[in-house]
Amino acid sequence: MLSLLRPLLLSGALLCGELHAGSSPSEPLLSTSWELYYARSARLLQQDEATLQAERQALRQSDFSLPTPTRRFGFEPDLPAAFYQSAAGRELLQAILSLQTPSGGWSKRTDMRIARQSGQHWGVEPNYVPTFDNSATTTQLRVLARAYNATAEPLYRQAFTRGITLLLQAQYPNGGWPQSFPLRGGYHDHITLNDEVTEEVLSLLYAVSTAETEFAFVDASLQQQAGQAFSRGLKLLLQLQQRDEAGLSLWAAQYHHRTLQPAWARAYEMPALAVMESASLLDFLLSLPKPSVELKQSIHAAAGWLARHAITDQHWHPQLRVLQAKAGAGPLWPRFAELNTNRPIFGDRDGELYYDVHQVSLERRQGYAWYTERPAPTLKHYQRWRTAFNDAAK
């Protein structure tokens, strides 16, 4: 177990040492807040590992087995509340509860219709459990809230509280969230907007803090904590919005959690403006009531960037995976745009960067969405928002 913790503790110690040597202007917080954060992460990781080890020892197993993989979670997350009063609903909830880690979260790509057995891991990717990626943890928490409202079963409320507590514990001192917590190192420690990680965490915390119908059962203290975490997260989000010669633009997919600079994830996910994720994030920002002046400026700027960089009369062929001229087609946008220049940019598994998508290997063209129509409905949402607020870009 110590061998698993040593790299994490060393990484935390090195990062804290950097602040002792001299804090960056983007890090006004005292180093002690980071030291406490890393210690909390290590403690929760040790708790998860110790539980699994104890189960294995009791069963006299030499190693743990993995649960069943699936594309998402194996269940429909938006079932009516009455379903959770049925035998099938209770069986599903029991399986979901069994796959909650001692630290309070859930995995991704794990079939949660099948209850976890003692000695079995909580997810199919042990080094990324628990996580907020691919809607993990936030999905399970919304399901538990609906189930508690339908059944008043205390176990569902207790599991929900543990999960929300993990979200609060996972928030970095500067207001961001990693992709996975407890921390495991690598790009999973980056503040992550990719796959709507930050957006979904903020959305859930906002719903809890405002006591929306399904979250009215949450006690006042936890609602207040959720509201404070949401405010810190939103403040950082506005700070992370990138700039070019025209002013504010969009957001990157991930940022180094200490320097707040756009960062690499996988070899083909470079530091760049993340157009698809920014559009989804903008939809969330447009849904917030009573936007501040700063938030309005952010929204206008992001929508303006999307409008200026729309591609028309071109078509991304879904089978051939090539960009083709086609009169009247579009609008569409590149998945990534280069920082500062706003040029479409593409990557491959070898870490090479390209300005022409046709230079990318066929495997990565087929396995990744390099062009997207996702911002189109967002711009329509923006126009409705402007009308509702009688607000124009300054």
pLDDT value of position 30 = 54
* Active-site annotation holder among 266, 308, 343, 384: 266
Going from the N-terminus, what domains does the chain have, and what CATH number goes with each? 64-233 (1.50.10.20), 241-394 (1.50.10.20)
Q: How far apart are CA 123 and CA 101, in angstroms?
A: 9
Quote the pLDDT of residue 204.
98
Q: Which residue has the tokens 């969230």?
A: 177
Consecutive sets of 10 residues in the chain, 394 residues long: mean pLDDT of each? 34 35 44 93 97 94 91 94 96 98 97 96 94 97 97 98 98 98 96 95 97 91 97 98 96 97 95 96 96 96 97 91 91 96 95 94 92 96 91 59
Q: Count CB neighbours of 312 within 10 A.
A: 11
3-state class of 361 per DSSP? coil
Active site residue 266: yes
Q: State the number of CA atoms in the 13 A half-sphere of 99 facing the CB.
A: 36
Q: Which two tokens stand for residue 286?
A: 């447009």
Residues 6 or more apart whose Cβ sits within 8 Å of residue 252: 193, 240, 242, 262, 263, 271, 272, 273, 274, 339
194 is a catalytic site residue: no
Residues 250, 240: Cα–Cα separation, whole Å = 9
Q: What is the pTM of this model?
A: 0.89
Distances (CA, A) of 161 to 77, 103, 165, 209: 19, 11, 6, 13
Q: Which residues pair with 315 in a beta bridge?
A: 324
Task: Name the active-site residue from 134, 174, 194, 342.
Answer: 134
How many alpha carbons fall within 13 Å on the CB side of residue 132? Answer: 33
Residue 40 DSSP label: H
Beta-carbon neighbour count of residue 28 at 10 Å? 9
Per-residue confidence (pLDDT) for residue 61, from 0 to 100: 86
Q: What is the largest CA-CA distance in the chain?
A: 68
Neighbouring-strand partners of residue 90? none
The letter for the amino acid at 199 is E
